[in-house]
Amino acid sequence: MNILVLNSGSSSLKYQLIDLENEEALAKGLAERIGVRTAEGSCLMHEAKGKKPYNVSADMPNHDVAMDVVFQALTDPEAGAIRDICEISAVGHRVVHGGEGFSQPTLITNETLAEIDKCSELAPLHNPPNLAGIRACRRVMPDVPQVAVFDTAFFTPIPKRAYIYALPYNLYKEYGVRRYGFHGTSHRYVTARARKLLAQTGMDVSEIKIVSCHLGNGCSASAVVGGKPIDTSLGMTPAEGLVMGTRGGDMDPAIIPFLMRRLDMTPDDIDNLINKKSGLLGVSGTSSDMRDIEAKAEAGDERAALAFDIFCYRARKYVGAYAAAMGGIDVIVFTGGIGQNSPAVRNGICEGLGFLGAEIDPRKNDGFRGEGSISKDNARVRIMVIPTDEEKMIARETAEVVSDLMASARR
Protein backbone atom coordinates (compact mmCIF):
# COMPACT_ATOMS: atom_id res chain seq x y z
CA MET A 1 0.00 0.00 0.00
CA ASN A 2 1.45 3.36 -1.07
CA ILE A 3 0.41 6.25 1.17
CA LEU A 4 0.99 9.86 0.13
CA VAL A 5 1.54 12.06 3.19
CA LEU A 6 0.95 15.79 2.76
CA ASN A 7 1.80 18.70 5.06
CA SER A 8 0.44 21.93 3.58
CA GLY A 9 1.72 25.26 4.89
CA SER A 10 0.69 28.77 3.92
CA SER A 11 3.27 28.92 1.13
CA SER A 12 4.62 25.37 1.06
CA LEU A 13 3.63 21.78 0.35
CA LYS A 14 5.77 19.06 1.92
CA TYR A 15 5.18 15.44 0.97
CA GLN A 16 6.37 11.85 1.21
CA LEU A 17 5.22 8.79 -0.68
CA ILE A 18 5.57 5.84 1.68
CA ASP A 19 5.42 2.13 0.85
CA LEU A 20 3.71 0.94 4.01
CA GLU A 21 4.73 -2.69 3.52
CA ASN A 22 8.27 -1.85 4.62
CA GLU A 23 7.62 1.76 5.78
CA GLU A 24 10.07 3.05 3.21
CA ALA A 25 9.91 6.49 1.63
CA LEU A 26 9.73 6.03 -2.15
CA ALA A 27 9.84 9.78 -2.76
CA LYS A 28 9.77 13.04 -0.87
CA GLY A 29 9.82 16.68 -1.69
CA LEU A 30 8.95 20.26 -0.90
CA ALA A 31 7.19 22.89 -2.98
CA GLU A 32 8.12 26.36 -1.73
CA ARG A 33 7.03 29.97 -2.18
CA ILE A 34 3.52 28.99 -3.31
CA GLY A 35 1.58 32.15 -4.07
CA VAL A 36 4.56 34.33 -3.14
CA ARG A 37 5.70 36.81 -5.75
CA THR A 38 9.48 36.98 -5.47
CA ALA A 39 12.39 37.26 -7.85
CA GLU A 40 13.22 33.61 -7.21
CA GLY A 41 9.68 32.40 -7.93
CA SER A 42 8.11 29.13 -6.80
CA CYS A 43 10.13 25.92 -6.88
CA LEU A 44 9.88 22.20 -6.19
CA MET A 45 12.67 20.08 -4.71
CA HIS A 46 11.90 16.39 -5.26
CA GLU A 47 13.84 13.19 -4.70
CA ALA A 48 12.82 9.60 -5.40
CA LYS A 49 14.56 6.46 -4.16
CA GLY A 50 17.41 5.52 -6.48
CA LYS A 51 16.90 8.57 -8.69
CA LYS A 52 18.76 11.83 -9.07
CA PRO A 53 17.29 14.89 -7.29
CA TYR A 54 14.70 16.67 -9.39
CA ASN A 55 14.40 20.42 -8.91
CA VAL A 56 12.07 22.56 -10.96
CA SER A 57 11.10 26.22 -11.00
CA ALA A 58 7.45 26.78 -11.89
CA ASP A 59 4.77 29.37 -11.32
CA MET A 60 2.68 28.05 -8.43
CA PRO A 61 0.13 30.75 -7.58
CA ASN A 62 -1.88 28.41 -5.31
CA HIS A 63 -1.96 24.91 -3.82
CA ASP A 64 -4.02 23.57 -6.73
CA VAL A 65 -1.22 24.31 -9.17
CA ALA A 66 1.43 23.15 -6.68
CA MET A 67 -0.38 19.81 -6.34
CA ASP A 68 -0.27 19.36 -10.11
CA VAL A 69 3.48 20.02 -10.08
CA VAL A 70 3.97 17.49 -7.28
CA PHE A 71 2.08 14.77 -9.15
CA GLN A 72 4.09 15.51 -12.30
CA ALA A 73 7.27 14.94 -10.29
CA LEU A 74 5.96 11.74 -8.68
CA THR A 75 5.12 10.26 -12.09
CA ASP A 76 8.02 11.69 -14.09
CA PRO A 77 9.58 8.88 -16.20
CA GLU A 78 13.11 9.71 -15.05
CA ALA A 79 12.68 11.24 -11.58
CA GLY A 80 9.40 9.79 -10.34
CA ALA A 81 8.58 6.91 -8.02
CA ILE A 82 5.38 5.65 -9.66
CA ARG A 83 4.03 5.40 -13.22
CA ASP A 84 0.56 6.70 -12.45
CA ILE A 85 -1.22 8.32 -9.52
CA CYS A 86 -3.58 5.34 -9.42
CA GLU A 87 -0.72 3.54 -7.62
CA ILE A 88 -1.45 5.74 -4.58
CA SER A 89 -3.82 3.88 -2.25
CA ALA A 90 -4.63 6.71 0.15
CA VAL A 91 -3.57 10.20 1.21
CA GLY A 92 -2.85 11.25 4.78
CA HIS A 93 -3.04 14.97 5.55
CA ARG A 94 -1.47 16.63 8.54
CA VAL A 95 -4.06 18.97 10.07
CA VAL A 96 -2.87 21.11 12.96
CA HIS A 97 -6.07 21.79 14.88
CA GLY A 98 -8.98 19.40 15.34
CA GLY A 99 -10.54 21.11 18.34
CA GLU A 100 -12.57 18.84 20.61
CA GLY A 101 -14.44 17.29 17.69
CA PHE A 102 -11.61 15.12 16.36
CA SER A 103 -9.91 12.70 18.73
CA GLN A 104 -8.84 10.19 16.05
CA PRO A 105 -7.59 10.21 12.45
CA THR A 106 -10.71 10.77 10.35
CA LEU A 107 -11.81 9.97 6.81
CA ILE A 108 -12.23 13.24 4.92
CA THR A 109 -15.72 14.03 3.69
CA ASN A 110 -17.47 17.31 2.91
CA GLU A 111 -18.78 17.29 6.48
CA THR A 112 -15.26 16.71 7.83
CA LEU A 113 -13.96 19.66 5.82
CA ALA A 114 -16.65 21.91 7.24
CA GLU A 115 -15.72 20.94 10.81
CA ILE A 116 -12.00 21.46 10.17
CA ASP A 117 -12.82 24.87 8.74
CA LYS A 118 -14.63 25.77 11.99
CA CYS A 119 -11.36 25.11 13.84
CA SER A 120 -9.57 27.69 11.67
CA GLU A 121 -10.45 30.36 14.23
CA LEU A 122 -8.28 28.48 16.73
CA ALA A 123 -5.40 28.01 14.24
CA PRO A 124 -5.71 30.76 11.61
CA LEU A 125 -2.11 30.34 10.43
CA HIS A 126 -2.34 26.57 9.99
CA ASN A 127 -5.79 25.14 9.28
CA PRO A 128 -6.59 27.25 6.18
CA PRO A 129 -3.48 26.06 4.28
CA ASN A 130 -4.11 22.51 5.54
CA LEU A 131 -7.56 22.76 3.96
CA ALA A 132 -6.12 24.19 0.74
CA GLY A 133 -3.88 21.14 0.40
CA ILE A 134 -6.76 18.76 1.08
CA ARG A 135 -8.99 20.40 -1.51
CA ALA A 136 -6.22 20.44 -4.11
CA CYS A 137 -5.54 16.75 -3.59
CA ARG A 138 -9.23 15.80 -3.70
CA ARG A 139 -9.55 17.61 -7.01
CA VAL A 140 -6.78 15.52 -8.56
CA MET A 141 -7.70 12.24 -6.80
CA PRO A 142 -11.45 12.40 -6.12
CA ASP A 143 -11.86 8.63 -5.69
CA VAL A 144 -8.85 7.98 -3.45
CA PRO A 145 -9.54 7.79 0.34
CA GLN A 146 -8.09 10.77 2.18
CA VAL A 147 -7.56 10.97 5.91
CA ALA A 148 -7.00 13.90 8.26
CA VAL A 149 -4.47 13.23 11.03
CA PHE A 150 -4.67 15.91 13.72
CA ASP A 151 -1.80 17.35 15.77
CA THR A 152 -4.21 17.84 18.64
CA ALA A 153 -5.73 14.33 18.69
CA PHE A 154 -2.96 12.66 20.72
CA PHE A 155 -3.75 14.92 23.67
CA THR A 156 -7.44 14.03 23.92
CA PRO A 157 -6.84 11.87 27.06
CA ILE A 158 -5.28 14.65 29.17
CA PRO A 159 -7.47 15.37 32.23
CA LYS A 160 -9.54 18.50 32.67
CA ARG A 161 -7.25 19.80 35.40
CA ALA A 162 -4.51 19.97 32.76
CA TYR A 163 -6.48 21.52 29.91
CA ILE A 164 -8.90 23.95 31.56
CA TYR A 165 -7.53 27.45 32.11
CA ALA A 166 -8.47 29.24 35.34
CA LEU A 167 -10.66 31.70 33.46
CA PRO A 168 -14.44 32.08 33.60
CA TYR A 169 -15.72 28.61 32.72
CA ASN A 170 -18.15 29.90 30.10
CA LEU A 171 -15.17 30.89 27.92
CA TYR A 172 -14.41 27.19 27.59
CA LYS A 173 -18.02 26.11 27.09
CA GLU A 174 -18.96 28.84 24.61
CA TYR A 175 -15.71 29.58 22.78
CA GLY A 176 -13.51 26.52 23.25
CA VAL A 177 -10.84 28.34 25.27
CA ARG A 178 -8.74 25.48 26.63
CA ARG A 179 -5.39 23.73 26.18
CA TYR A 180 -5.33 21.55 23.06
CA GLY A 181 -1.63 20.80 22.56
CA PHE A 182 0.25 20.37 19.29
CA HIS A 183 3.09 18.27 17.81
CA GLY A 184 0.93 15.32 18.86
CA THR A 185 1.99 13.11 15.96
CA SER A 186 5.64 13.63 16.86
CA HIS A 187 5.11 12.98 20.58
CA ARG A 188 3.07 9.87 19.78
CA TYR A 189 5.81 8.51 17.51
CA VAL A 190 8.84 9.12 19.74
CA THR A 191 7.21 7.96 22.98
CA ALA A 192 5.96 4.78 21.29
CA ARG A 193 9.43 4.24 19.83
CA ALA A 194 11.06 4.78 23.24
CA ARG A 195 8.71 2.26 24.83
CA LYS A 196 9.49 -0.30 22.12
CA LEU A 197 13.26 0.13 22.43
CA LEU A 198 13.16 -0.12 26.22
CA ALA A 199 10.84 -3.11 26.17
CA GLN A 200 13.46 -4.90 24.08
CA THR A 201 15.88 -4.49 27.02
CA GLY A 202 13.44 -6.23 29.34
CA MET A 203 12.07 -3.07 30.98
CA ASP A 204 8.42 -3.08 32.02
CA VAL A 205 6.97 -0.19 30.01
CA SER A 206 3.30 -0.62 30.95
CA GLU A 207 3.37 2.46 33.20
CA ILE A 208 6.62 4.04 32.08
CA LYS A 209 6.84 7.80 32.71
CA ILE A 210 8.27 9.83 29.83
CA VAL A 211 8.88 13.52 29.24
CA SER A 212 9.25 14.04 25.50
CA CYS A 213 10.83 17.28 24.28
CA HIS A 214 10.10 18.23 20.66
CA LEU A 215 12.58 21.03 20.02
CA GLY A 216 12.73 22.81 16.68
CA ASN A 217 11.55 26.19 15.43
CA GLY A 218 8.41 25.26 17.34
CA CYS A 219 8.90 23.53 20.68
CA SER A 220 6.80 21.54 23.11
CA ALA A 221 7.16 19.18 26.04
CA SER A 222 4.71 16.44 26.97
CA ALA A 223 4.24 14.19 29.99
CA VAL A 224 3.27 10.66 28.92
CA VAL A 225 2.48 7.76 31.26
CA GLY A 226 2.15 4.27 29.81
CA GLY A 227 1.74 5.70 26.33
CA LYS A 228 -1.00 8.18 27.29
CA PRO A 229 -0.39 11.92 27.67
CA ILE A 230 -1.36 13.63 30.91
CA ASP A 231 -0.12 17.14 30.07
CA THR A 232 1.59 19.17 27.36
CA SER A 233 3.12 22.63 27.13
CA LEU A 234 1.44 24.11 24.03
CA GLY A 235 -1.98 25.51 24.75
CA MET A 236 -5.02 26.79 22.90
CA THR A 237 -2.57 27.97 20.23
CA PRO A 238 1.06 27.03 19.48
CA ALA A 239 2.31 30.08 21.41
CA GLU A 240 2.38 28.81 25.01
CA GLY A 241 5.04 26.88 26.87
CA LEU A 242 8.70 26.63 25.91
CA VAL A 243 10.85 29.26 24.23
CA MET A 244 10.80 28.75 20.46
CA GLY A 245 12.41 30.25 17.38
CA THR A 246 10.12 33.29 17.15
CA ARG A 247 7.58 32.54 19.90
CA GLY A 248 8.25 33.42 23.53
CA GLY A 249 6.09 30.81 25.23
CA ASP A 250 4.96 31.41 28.82
CA MET A 251 4.69 34.98 30.04
CA ASP A 252 2.63 37.19 32.33
CA PRO A 253 -0.65 37.70 30.41
CA ALA A 254 -0.99 41.20 31.83
CA ILE A 255 1.96 42.20 29.62
CA ILE A 256 -0.44 42.19 26.66
CA PRO A 257 -2.83 44.95 27.84
CA PHE A 258 0.18 46.88 29.18
CA LEU A 259 1.80 46.93 25.75
CA MET A 260 -1.48 47.71 24.00
CA ARG A 261 -1.99 50.76 26.19
CA ARG A 262 1.64 51.91 26.39
CA LEU A 263 2.58 51.40 22.73
CA ASP A 264 -0.89 51.77 21.20
CA MET A 265 -0.66 48.25 19.80
CA THR A 266 -3.57 46.49 18.10
CA PRO A 267 -4.50 42.82 18.58
CA ASP A 268 -2.80 42.10 15.23
CA ASP A 269 0.34 43.89 16.45
CA ILE A 270 0.36 41.76 19.60
CA ASP A 271 -0.22 38.57 17.58
CA ASN A 272 2.73 39.47 15.36
CA LEU A 273 4.91 40.22 18.38
CA ILE A 274 4.08 36.95 20.15
CA ASN A 275 4.36 34.66 17.13
CA LYS A 276 6.97 36.24 14.87
CA LYS A 277 9.25 38.58 16.86
CA SER A 278 9.83 36.84 20.17
CA GLY A 279 11.63 33.69 21.33
CA LEU A 280 15.27 33.20 20.32
CA LEU A 281 14.92 35.97 17.75
CA GLY A 282 13.48 38.45 20.23
CA VAL A 283 16.11 37.90 22.91
CA SER A 284 19.14 37.59 20.62
CA GLY A 285 18.02 40.31 18.23
CA THR A 286 19.74 38.47 15.38
CA SER A 287 18.41 34.97 14.66
CA SER A 288 15.70 32.41 15.37
CA ASP A 289 18.02 29.52 14.41
CA MET A 290 19.65 27.69 17.33
CA ARG A 291 22.72 26.96 15.20
CA ASP A 292 23.31 30.69 14.85
CA ILE A 293 22.57 31.26 18.53
CA GLU A 294 25.14 28.67 19.62
CA ALA A 295 27.80 30.00 17.25
CA LYS A 296 27.27 33.60 18.36
CA ALA A 297 27.23 32.63 22.03
CA GLU A 298 30.53 30.79 21.64
CA ALA A 299 31.95 33.90 19.96
CA GLY A 300 31.03 36.02 22.98
CA ASP A 301 27.66 37.48 21.99
CA GLU A 302 25.99 38.11 25.35
CA ARG A 303 22.41 38.28 24.06
CA ALA A 304 22.84 35.07 22.10
CA ALA A 305 24.21 33.41 25.24
CA LEU A 306 21.22 34.73 27.19
CA ALA A 307 18.79 33.38 24.58
CA PHE A 308 20.47 29.98 24.82
CA ASP A 309 20.29 29.98 28.63
CA ILE A 310 16.63 30.99 28.70
CA PHE A 311 15.77 28.29 26.14
CA CYS A 312 17.42 25.53 28.20
CA TYR A 313 16.20 26.85 31.56
CA ARG A 314 12.56 26.96 30.46
CA ALA A 315 12.74 23.40 29.12
CA ARG A 316 14.45 22.18 32.30
CA LYS A 317 11.64 23.67 34.41
CA TYR A 318 9.08 21.78 32.35
CA VAL A 319 10.94 18.49 32.79
CA GLY A 320 10.92 19.02 36.55
CA ALA A 321 7.27 20.07 36.61
CA TYR A 322 6.19 17.04 34.59
CA ALA A 323 8.21 14.72 36.82
CA ALA A 324 6.16 16.12 39.70
CA ALA A 325 2.89 15.79 37.73
CA MET A 326 3.63 12.15 36.89
CA GLY A 327 4.90 11.26 40.37
CA GLY A 328 8.33 10.38 38.98
CA ILE A 329 10.20 10.09 35.72
CA ASP A 330 11.82 7.20 33.88
CA VAL A 331 12.78 8.65 30.49
CA ILE A 332 13.55 11.97 28.84
CA VAL A 333 13.30 11.93 25.04
CA PHE A 334 14.78 14.61 22.77
CA THR A 335 13.53 15.00 19.22
CA GLY A 336 13.04 17.68 16.55
CA GLY A 337 15.74 19.58 14.68
CA ILE A 338 17.32 21.03 17.83
CA GLY A 339 16.66 18.07 20.12
CA GLN A 340 18.19 15.61 17.67
CA ASN A 341 21.19 17.70 16.61
CA SER A 342 22.35 19.91 19.48
CA PRO A 343 24.45 18.24 22.18
CA ALA A 344 24.84 21.64 23.86
CA VAL A 345 21.08 22.12 24.22
CA ARG A 346 20.56 18.58 25.52
CA ASN A 347 23.33 19.12 28.07
CA GLY A 348 22.00 22.57 29.01
CA ILE A 349 18.52 21.21 29.68
CA CYS A 350 19.67 18.18 31.70
CA GLU A 351 22.26 20.09 33.71
CA GLY A 352 21.08 20.13 37.30
CA LEU A 353 18.61 17.27 36.89
CA GLY A 354 20.89 14.82 38.65
CA PHE A 355 18.62 14.94 41.71
CA LEU A 356 15.96 13.25 39.56
CA GLY A 357 18.44 10.60 38.46
CA ALA A 358 18.94 12.14 34.99
CA GLU A 359 22.63 12.36 34.08
CA ILE A 360 24.04 12.73 30.58
CA ASP A 361 27.19 10.87 29.56
CA PRO A 362 29.26 13.57 27.79
CA ARG A 363 31.04 10.98 25.63
CA LYS A 364 27.74 9.63 24.33
CA ASN A 365 26.12 13.04 23.96
CA ASP A 366 28.85 14.83 22.02
CA GLY A 367 28.32 14.28 18.34
CA PHE A 368 25.55 11.71 18.88
CA ARG A 369 23.64 10.78 15.73
CA GLY A 370 20.76 8.43 15.17
CA GLU A 371 18.64 6.92 17.94
CA GLY A 372 19.56 5.65 21.37
CA SER A 373 20.55 6.50 24.91
CA ILE A 374 22.93 9.29 25.94
CA SER A 375 22.59 8.85 29.71
CA LYS A 376 25.23 7.42 32.00
CA ASP A 377 25.05 3.64 32.20
CA ASN A 378 24.11 3.65 35.89
CA ALA A 379 21.68 6.59 35.70
CA ARG A 380 18.19 5.89 37.01
CA VAL A 381 16.54 8.03 34.27
CA ARG A 382 17.18 7.15 30.64
CA ILE A 383 17.95 10.13 28.42
CA MET A 384 17.27 9.26 24.79
CA VAL A 385 17.54 10.86 21.37
CA ILE A 386 14.91 9.62 18.92
CA PRO A 387 14.54 11.24 15.50
CA THR A 388 10.87 11.92 14.92
CA ASP A 389 9.08 10.58 11.87
CA GLU A 390 5.70 12.29 11.68
CA GLU A 391 5.23 11.20 8.05
CA LYS A 392 5.58 7.53 8.97
CA MET A 393 3.13 7.99 11.84
CA ILE A 394 0.61 9.72 9.58
CA ALA A 395 0.99 6.94 6.99
CA ARG A 396 0.33 4.26 9.64
CA GLU A 397 -2.75 6.02 10.97
CA THR A 398 -4.06 6.68 7.46
CA ALA A 399 -3.71 3.00 6.59
CA GLU A 400 -5.63 2.00 9.74
CA VAL A 401 -8.57 4.23 8.79
CA VAL A 402 -8.58 2.94 5.21
CA SER A 403 -8.31 -0.69 6.33
CA ASP A 404 -11.26 -0.23 8.70
CA LEU A 405 -13.21 1.36 5.85
CA MET A 406 -12.48 -1.58 3.56
CA ALA A 407 -13.38 -4.09 6.27
CA SER A 408 -16.71 -2.35 6.85
CA ALA A 409 -17.43 -2.41 3.12
CA ARG A 410 -16.90 -6.21 3.04
CA ARG A 411 -19.35 -6.88 5.86
Residue 151 known to be catalytic: yes
The residues, ordered by sequence, that sit 6+ positions from 81 with a Cβ below 8 Å of its Cβ are 17, 26, 27, 48, 49, 51, 74
What's the CA dihedral at 323, 329, 331, 336 to 10 degrees?
-10
The residues, ordered by sequence, that sit 6+ positions from 350 with a Cβ below 8 Å of its Cβ are 316, 319, 332, 358, 359, 360, 383
Task: Tell me if 85 sits within 8 A of 140, measured CB to CB.
Answer: yes
Task: Tell me if 315 sits within 8 A of 212, measured CB to CB.
Answer: no
Residues 105, 184: Cα–Cα separation, whole Å = 12
What are the residue ranges of helices labelled H in 200-278? Answer: 255-262, 267-276
Buried/exposed 7-18: b ≥16 CB within 10 Å, e otherwise? bbbebbbbbbbb
- Residue 248 CA: distances (Å) to CA of 126, 187, 308: 19, 21, 13
Residues 308, 223: Cα–Cα separation, whole Å = 23
SS3 state of residue 7: strand
Annotated catalytic residue: which of 151, 231, 330, 389?
151
What's the CA dihedral at 100, 106, 110, 114 to 10 degrees?
20
Buried/exposed 221-242: b ≥16 CB within 10 Å, e otherwise? bbbbbebebbbbbbbbbbbbbb
CB atoms within 10 A of CB 124: 12
Task: Tell me if 192 sits within 8 A of 371, measured CB to CB.
Answer: no
> What does the radius of gyration of the chain's CA atoms come to, in whole angstroms?
22
Residues 380, 332: Cα–Cα separation, whole Å = 11
Residues identified as active-site: 151
